[in-house]
Structure 1
């Protein structure tokens, strides 16, 4: 690293005097008339300026309960699929898409999966729609002003699922319909 000397012969512009019709020499007080100054006009809006605390509170307890229920249903379904794959010499981690096409679903697995999505089951349209609506209410604190935002987010979620999975099964379509009906109430 090279250090160079600071040259003191640098040119500096001298300070220039500015003449003003409002300021006399030595008098820094403005002679501008008060009538020309900006005048304060009170607002016609009588709403308080302070932050209003909303009565809508994020419900951590309900969100945690719904998350736990969802994880339990997912774990049960995943376990069902893992057992099915193991019976046929595969695993979820190593199975290829070609091998998926050859998987045979045995009768006990089919019946258990069918019971999970049947009315009263943990993955039925009614149960899943209840969890989605309860979750939406919990994260919004029940604030109806957030309803459109919540509905748009749910619609987008179903659209994304459809773009990934292709056409959704009838139980998913029924779930979507029930969610929208419950949110409109």
Structure 2
């Protein structure tokens, strides 16, 4: 059994959980998220805590109990605090601007890149070389940030490109004559 699944998830105030059949719904001040449950894992809501246990011991159930606990824990954090990912644009003339649900990126190409944000995701750009992606679903926030980063990944010689704020780019030494 997963070690992390031994610990129950405490629900903060203003966060509600509802288990209906094969689905769990987490409601909070920022929104609502749903997750399908696996038949091999039993999920119980007791005294504002979510407990996990294995119904049938198998390799699949041992793997899924920890995964399910982590997913539901991320849902609880998402509806109460939310998630954000900060991107930095490093390079001459690299800038980002947000126009509603469209992020306009100028990354040194001959044309601008317009990235449409999915529903539930919000972007902010306080300064032109910084972009913050926010949302309640951790997977969606990470996916959007990774997609924007993939337009111009940091190159290894000067470090120019789109990078995560906490990312360290290891620079290579230039070729010597």
| TM norm. shorter chain > 0.5 | no
Higher normalized contact order (CA 8 Å, seq sep 6+, divided by chain length): 1
**Which one has a larger percent helix, Structure 1 or Structure 2?**
1
**Which one has a larger percent strand, Structure 1 or Structure 2?**
2
TM-score, scaled relative to structure 1? 0.22
TM-score, scaled relative to structure 2? 0.23
Structure label with greater radius of gyration:
1
